[in-house]
Amino acid sequence: MNVSFLVYFQIVSNKVERYKARLVVRGFIQTFGVDYNETFIPIIKFVSIHYIPGLATIENMEIHQMDVKIAFFNGDLEEGIYMEQLKGFTHEGEHLICKLRKSLYGLKQSPRAWNQKLDVFFKNIKFVKSDADFCMYVVQIEDVKFFIMVYVGDLILACNNKDKLLQVKEKLSQKFEMKDLGDFHFFLGMEVERDRAQRLLYINQIGYLKEIFKRFCTENYKAIGVPLDPKTKLKKNVNKDDEIVKVLYQQAMGSLMYAMLLFSGI
């Protein structure tokens, strides 16, 4: 199996926080039933992303965020998968290949392998997976309430006992390489501000929507308060760029749909 490097950057609060490079396996050449089987993993429901922080705000709970660094590298592979040595990191004069023990980025089963590893970890520390949302883990012992929401490698933790919260964060850091992001402030394109004194939580997507406008609109666009006149007759442009325009339109609509679904919590 061939490999390559993927170089990209991570955005936090609409600013480039750091640049990354990752070893990526070309999983598109995998064969179902041979080197992979199941690939499905759940992700947190949008309604949970609104409900749990809202409940935690009302009850004045601590709400923190954590990020698992190179999350997929933690997954254990069940299948026997081999890859070529990466150029520049080969043993000269030796015709060797690498047997993968951990799930690399690009493998079709990597997300599932990581999710299974995290699921086992939470169950070992006595958390219970919610029947309503398979990416939400809960525990309640006496007067302690604890919720953890998982979106691949991003975690939101809410607890009414700060000491217990810190203990779980410490266990996570001991098991996986984690980044502690502190208080809940930015998640999946939503910017969050919290007023603990008034027990209020403010959410907006201003930064995300600005990025959409920069990507799909010109710099001189003007906002209007009414939609297009329904009597307007539209004519289809017939030229070689039709397919490009079609794809850009679909991307723009998809980006707006994501913003609508996430913000409404559907």
Tens-digit pLDDT profile for residues 106-148: 899 999 999 999 999 999 999 999 999 999 999 998 899 999 9
Question: For the chain, what is the domain count?
Answer: 2
Can you tell me the distance from the alpha carbon of 134 to that of 43, in angstroms, rounded to the nearest whole number? 8
∠ CA(14), CA(17), CA(21), 5° rounding? 120
**Do residues 138 and 10 both lie within one domain?**
yes
**Do residues 199 and 209 both lie within one domain?**
no
Q: Which has the higher per-residue pLDDT, 242 or 133?
A: 133
Q: 121: alpha, beta or left, given left = phi > 0 and alpha = psi -120 to 50?
A: alpha
Q: Which residues contact 211 (CB under 8 A, 6 or more apart)?
A: 14
Token duo for residue 148: 């953890």
Q: Is residue 227 part of a domain?
A: no
Q: Which residues contact 135 (CB under 8 A, 6 or more apart)?
A: 42, 43, 44, 45, 48, 149, 150, 151
Q: Enter the pTM of the model.
A: 0.80
Q: What's the pLDDT score for residue 135? A: 94
Q: Is residue 75 part of a domain?
A: yes
- Return the closest-CA partner of residue 202 out of 54, 11, 60: 54
User: Chain centroid to CA 129: how far?
Assistant: 19
Can you tell me the distance from the alpha carbon of 191 to that of 204, in angstroms, rounded to the nearest whole number? 5
**From the CA atom positions of the chain, what is the Rg in Å?**
23
- Please tell me the least confidently modeled range out of 37-51, 217-231, 251-265: 217-231
Q: Is residue 228 part of a domain?
A: no
Q: What's the pLDDT score for residue 177? A: 93
**Structural domain that includes position 115:** 3-204
